[in-house]
Amino acid sequence: MRKLFITLLQVRLAVAAITALGVAFLVVGALIGMPPFGFVVIALLIGLPTVLFAVKRGSSLSNSKLLTIFFVATVVALLVIQLIPYGKGRSNGVATAEPAWATPQTRELMVRACFGCHSNEVEYPAYASVAPISWAVQSHIDEGRKKVNYQEWDKPQRGADETIETIEEGEMPPHYYTMFGRHPEAKLTSEEINVLVAGLLATGGMSEND
């Protein structure tokens, strides 16, 4: 351990750069909602060969060599994770039943704001084919459908009674869904939110008071 510590001191500039990139990865991953297993897999695929290389090189290790193996490990990791099947399925189930929407506009607004994850008509963007982004997209959809699927209304929906509260608190759609200018149609105006809430109250089954 002492020998490894001394080695790392020799390449502290490279270690600082790798640490900064690691923190950036954690922040971006958290912002896009990457599932926990994604952090673990990528950290192992990049971190393990980098550390083993550093230990093997010992006193002959330099900043340039450490950064080189780190970037090589990163490229290899990005290629390897494309082989992981999670997020590649892009499955949409059959729409069996929907709520008796109070008005067509109520449904239209719900489609814009919520059907991206809470329905069986999910439209997968092109970038959803590339890991680790595909993992984050699939994780959001899986979690969304598990909580409430507005197109399987003939089955119990444990999160349906939180719909209005979630929309009023600005949690639907979630921030990561509209980040970087994505899905602009999902960002409802204050007036549209008021119209939607009124429509959901008339629809029923969307709040704890129903």
Both 79 and 122 in a single domain?
Answer: no
The pLDDT, as a whole number, for residue 12 is: 83
Does any domain span residue 50?
yes
Cross-strand bridge partners of residue 97: 152
**For residue 8, is pLDDT > 70?**
no
Beta carbons of 129 and 161 less than 8 angstroms apart: no
**Average pLDDT of 108-126?**
93
Tokens (6 digits) for 78? 């990005």
The pLDDT, as a whole number, for residue 93 is: 86
Both 120 and 192 in a single domain?
Answer: yes
55-96 confidence digits (pLDDT tens): 888 778 889 999 999 999 999 999 999 999 998 877 788 999
Both 128 and 40 in a single domain?
Answer: no
User: How many domains does the chain divide into?
Assistant: 2
Phi, psi dihedral angles at 154 (to 5 degrees): -80, 0
Does any domain span residue 147?
yes
Confidence of residue 21 (pLDDT cuts 50, 70, 90): very high
Give me the residue label for tokens 């089955």: 155
Does any domain span residue 209?
no
Both 49 and 114 in a single domain?
Answer: no
**Average pLDDT of 101-121?**
95
The pLDDT, as a whole number, for residue 172 is: 86
Q: Among 17, 50, 83, where does a domain finish?
A: 83
The pLDDT, as a whole number, for residue 89 is: 77
The pLDDT, as a whole number, for residue 147 is: 94
Domain boundaries, position 26: 2-83
Does any domain span residue 184?
yes
Does any domain span residue 93?
no
32-49 confidence digits (pLDDT tens): 889 999 999 999 999 999
Both 57 and 138 in a single domain?
Answer: no
Least Cα distance to 97 among 157, 177, 55, 153 occurs for: 153
Both 109 and 51 in a single domain?
Answer: no
In total, the chain counts a number of residues equal to: 210
152-205 confidence digits (pLDDT tens): 999 999 899 999 999 999 888 888 888 878 889 999 999 999 999 999 999 988
Q: Among 21, 54, 83, where does a domain finish?
A: 83
Does any domain span residue 208?
no
The pLDDT, as a whole number, for residue 124 is: 87
Least Cα distance to 27 among 179, 166, 140, 171 occurs for: 179
The pLDDT, as a whole number, for residue 33 is: 87
Both 78 and 108 in a single domain?
Answer: no
The pLDDT, as a whole number, for residue 9 is: 64
